[in-house]
Amino acid sequence: MKIGIHDLEVATSHYVLDLDTLAEQHDIDPNKFRIGLGQDKFSMPAPDEDIVTMAAEAAQTLLERHDVSKIRQVYFATESSVDQSKAAGVYLHELLGLPANVRSIELKQACYSGTAALQLAINAIARNPEEQILVITSDVARYALDSGGEPTQGAGSVAMLISADPNLVEIEPGSGLHTTDVNDFWRPNDSTTPFVDGQLSLDAYLAATTAAWDDLAARRELSVDDIHRFLHHQPFTKMARKQLAAMAEHTGCELSDDLIEESMSYNRALGNTYTASLYFALTAQLHNNAELAGKRLGFFSYGSGAVAEFFTGVVQDNYRDHIYPQNVAKQLDNRVELTYDEYRELHESFAATSETFTTSKTTNAPFRLSGVTERQRRYEAQ
């Protein structure tokens, strides 16, 4: 039985900052961001947006095409959680009118947990093939102002419907896994921004992803030549190029950048979307390449701390009939560009508080955070 990604949809935030603006204000050559990091812009949420509003929008667009009564579980993967107890996906039940007879949980392991959610969903469907699972990745990457990570901020969500006989990508059995305790990037409970050891994070990413490849190669008859295109977690798109070069050195195979080129267009414009980044890379590959039917994709998933997984999927024959690039274009083009002063003010005004507040109406998205009362987050449709 084939199990995999049946359909997917995306959402991002109301605002965007062009990295040329940041470069100009910080007296940095804009090519450091455009070429050195491979990034053009990053998305930034309005005060009435967060991981829940983006996830609800992505999931609503997705579910308009499907029968929600088949969904039995919602797995919400994020590392920018809005509550220490309540799973973010539970808010979607009210906002989207999901059935009550559905399990809803939240998963965390930095940028990796979207992949954990996908794999758990596939295992669950192997047991109950008539059911479907909604896997949501949604994150806001918010680094400290004037920090090394500042140009790699971002925001976005990818909602995926996982089922038997998928329309888009069958996920093949057999993953390569690697977990190691490393303090390359972490966010303690009392901090709204992460702590990062930049160089260590690059080294840890490369070491863990190649180790995950080795684990898979030891378990399956698979060589790099069997992979038609590679997809990566892209904290910034240059990282995918670095990883491919490391893989070429590690395996002794020649690996051209053509293997990853089509996967980077959305992440260049979004910034780091943490759990969603790998699945934006998948979305871009499916949208930008019309020759993928029957071809195998190799997915490199990485989450600091660190967990890495390498797994593969085969693109289904009629995938072009089930993709919606115009929806992504709309999400990217509709963003409102920030000036540098507006960006600084918005960043400085963010507070992870449960004190009562009301947000001013900013976003045009279908759902918004209206504020907090009695220490409870309030969302509304509009």
- Which H or E element spans position 122? helix 113-127
Burial 217-231 (b: 16+ CB within 10 A, else e): eeeeebebeebbbbb
148 binds ligand HMG (CB under 6 A): yes
Q: Sign of torsion, CA 225 234 219 166?
A: negative
Per-residue binding letters, 291-310, with ligand HMG (x by CB under 6 A): -----------xxx------
Block residue for tokens 């904290």: 235
Per-residue binding letters, 187-226, with ligand HMG (x by CB under 6 A): ---------x-x--xx--x---------------------
Q: Which residues lie closer than 8 Å to 223 by C-beta, 6 or more apart? A: 217, 253
Give the shortest CB-258-to-ligand HMG separation in angstroms. Answer: 19
The DSSP string of 38-66 is: ---EEEE--TT--HHHHHHHHHHHHHTTS
Q: Which of 6, 233, 287, 347 is catalytic?
A: 233
Per-residue binding letters, 227-266, with ligand HMG (x by CB under 6 A): ------x-xx--x---------------------------
Selected from 20, 21, 23, 32, the binder of ligand HMG by CB under 6 A is 32
How many Å separate Cα 98 from the centre of its chain?
22
156 binds ligand HMG (CB under 6 A): no
Give the shortest CB-193-to-ligand HMG separation in angstroms. Answer: 11
Q: Where does this chain touch ligand HMG (CB under 6 A) — which range of 47-55, 144-152, 155-163, 345-353?
A: 144-152
Catalytic residue flag (residue 233): yes
- Which H or E element spans position 29? none
Using CB under 6 A as the binding criterion, the count of chain residues that bind ligand HMG stands at 27
Backbone angles phi, psi at 246, to 5 degrees: -65, -40
Among residues 302, 241, 306, the alpha carbon closest in space to that of 275 is found at 302
Taking CB atoms, the residue at the shortest distance from ligand HMG is 36
Catalytic residue flag (residue 355): no
Give the shortest CB-171-to-ligand HMG separation in angstroms. Answer: 21
31 binds ligand HMG (CB under 6 A): yes
Q: Which of 6, 14, 111, 172 is catalytic?
A: 111
Give the shortest CB-23-to-ligand HMG separation in angstroms. Answer: 9
Catalytic residue flag (residue 253): no
145 binds ligand HMG (CB under 6 A): no
Task: Please tell me whether residue 118 adopts helix, strand or coil conformation.
Answer: helix
Per-residue binding letters, 40-79, with ligand HMG (x by CB under 6 A): ---------------------------------------x
Task: Please tell me whether residue 312 adopts helix, strand or coil conformation.
Answer: strand
Among residues 303, 273, 298, 272, the alpha carbon closest in space to that of 107 is found at 303
210 residue type, one letter: T
Q: Where does this chain touch ligand HMG (CB under 6 A) — which range of 27-35, 66-74, 130-138, 360-368?
A: 27-35
165 binds ligand HMG (CB under 6 A): no
Cα 61 to Cα 136: distance, rounded to the nearest angstrom: 13
Torsion, CA 271, CA 274, CA 277, CA 278, rounded to 10: 150
Selected from 13, 53, 152, 363, the binder of ligand HMG by CB under 6 A is 152
How many Å separate Cα 366 from the centre of its chain?
20
Give the shortest CB-166-to-ligand HMG separation in angstroms. Answer: 26
Does residue 306 have a cis peptide bond before it, meaning omega lies within 30 degrees of 0?
A: yes
Residues that bind ligand HMG (CB under 6 A): 29, 31-32, 35-37, 79, 110-111, 148-149, 152, 185, 196, 198, 201-202, 205, 233, 235-236, 239, 272, 274, 302-304
| Catalytic residue ranges | 79, 111, 233
